[in-house]
Copies of this chain bind each other. A is one copy, B any other.
Amino acid sequence: MSSTIKDVARLAGVSPATVSRVLNDSAGVRPETRERVETAIRQLNFTPSVVAKGLREGRSGIIGAVVPDITSLFFMDVVKGLENTLTLNDYRLVVCDSQNQAKKERENCRWLLTGGVDALILIGPMQEQENLVELAEQGVPFGLFGRHLHHPNASTVNVDNRTATFRAVEHLISHGHREIGFISGTPGVTDGEERLVGFRDALSQYGLTFRPEWVQCGSFSEEGGARALELLMSGAERPTAVFAANDEMAIGALYQAKGLGLEVPKDLAVIGFDNVRLARLVSPALTTVNQPRLDAGFRLAQNMLQRLAGSADPERMILPADLVVRQSCGCRWSSYSAADK
């Protein structure tokens, strides 16, 4: 078992209080006493319990992050951004996975809160709005990525989904497309719904009619995207381009198109959203909207740190997202094609 401060005190022939002083570099310890204590610490290979320390001090130095899926490259990039900033400021980040279940997400949050985290950051929340409010009211600084929440204790970072989608669809239209399908995500997820709004904006702006039968749900997954494309292509009238509300679905659509004998981008143009690492690597390389996820994490971390230091208030940030043009939209360009003749 691990040794305690008492063991050290006994070995050094002092009281626990003195050991504590040595541990925290407090003044007022005679050099030779300090020496004796330090020797004892080394002998026992002693490290103070962060649990006990945190309990007493009311500050743990831990920030908790809850993610919907720890294998999601997209969300993990945001976590990276958080982490880089937080660890530089001597906070420690622990990550809990909710396995895509709203219930587990809620449990994780509550659990971290009772675990004494100094701040809680929820990435891509699946909670009902009212639950978010409740979490925001638990007393520790609360941060969100990928969801809006107007609450005096909530910092939020979001991407400007609407404008970004508008630009992407505009790009398709500028290629001459007038029949454009939309592959939507899981209903109720804000990001996806904002993207649909941007999509409709673009259509109406350019005088195209919105056709409900050309919106198919792909549930944000590769398989869903493949199925959705199949449905879009099974009607009498087929769109000549599709916008998918995320890259996973876009990639599913890309491969499904191949399966249907369609050549992308000649027979069908595809644009996604997120710019995951895969986007560059699939063939044809996927044109997509880049979300500045590292930066999002960074910005959120910055604000949380300032809040912890008492030098800032919660902030609501909206980040721009820009179109990354590759091959799947019909333009002649890709990160690798530069080397092609």
- Assembly CA distance A333 to B123 (angstroms): 39
- Asked if A236 is an interface residue, CB under 8 A from chain B, the answer is no
Closest approach, in angstroms, between the C-beta of A318 and any C-beta of chain B?
Answer: 24
Question: A49, A94, A99: which has the most chain B beta carbons within 10 Å?
Answer: A94
Residue interface mask A250-294, B partner, CB < 8 A = 1 = 010001001110000000000000000110011100000000000
With A110-B47, A114-B50 as known contacts, state yes or no: A95 contacts B92, CB within 8 Å: no
Q: Which B residues touch A77, using CB under 8 A? A: 71
- Asked if A242 is an interface residue, CB under 8 A from chain B, the answer is no
Q: Which B residues touch A260, using CB under 8 A? A: 339
* Interface positions of A from 78 to 124, Cβ below 8 Å from B: 79-80, 83-84, 87, 92-97, 99, 104, 110-111, 113-116
Question: A111, A114, A336: which has the most chain B beta carbons within 10 Å?
Answer: A114
- Assembly CA distance A289 to B168 (angstroms): 38
Q: Of B48, B76, B84, B114, which is within 8 A of A47 by CB?
A: B114
- Assembly CA distance A216 to B71 (angstroms): 30
User: Which stretch from A35-43, A51-59, A196-204, A298-306 is at the chain B interface?
Assistant: A51-59
With A113-B2, A278-B278, A281-B251 as known contacts, state yes or no: A73 contacts B70, CB within 8 Å: no
User: In the complex, which residue of chain B has the Cβ closest to the Cβ of A117?
Assistant: B51
Closest approach, in angstroms, between the C-beta of A88 and any C-beta of chain B?
Answer: 11
Q: Which B residues touch A96, using CB under 8 A? A: 92-95
Q: Which B residues touch A45, using CB under 8 A? A: 134
- Pair A51/B47 contact, Cβ less than 8 Å: no
- Pair A79/B73 contact, Cβ less than 8 Å: no
Closest approach, in angstroms, between the C-beta of A75 and any C-beta of chain B?
Answer: 10
List chain A positions with a Cβ less than 8 A from chain B: 1-2, 45, 47-52, 54-55, 60, 70-71, 73, 76-77, 79-80, 83-84, 87, 92-97, 99, 104, 110-111, 113-116, 134, 138-139, 251, 255, 258-260, 277-278, 281-283, 336, 339-340
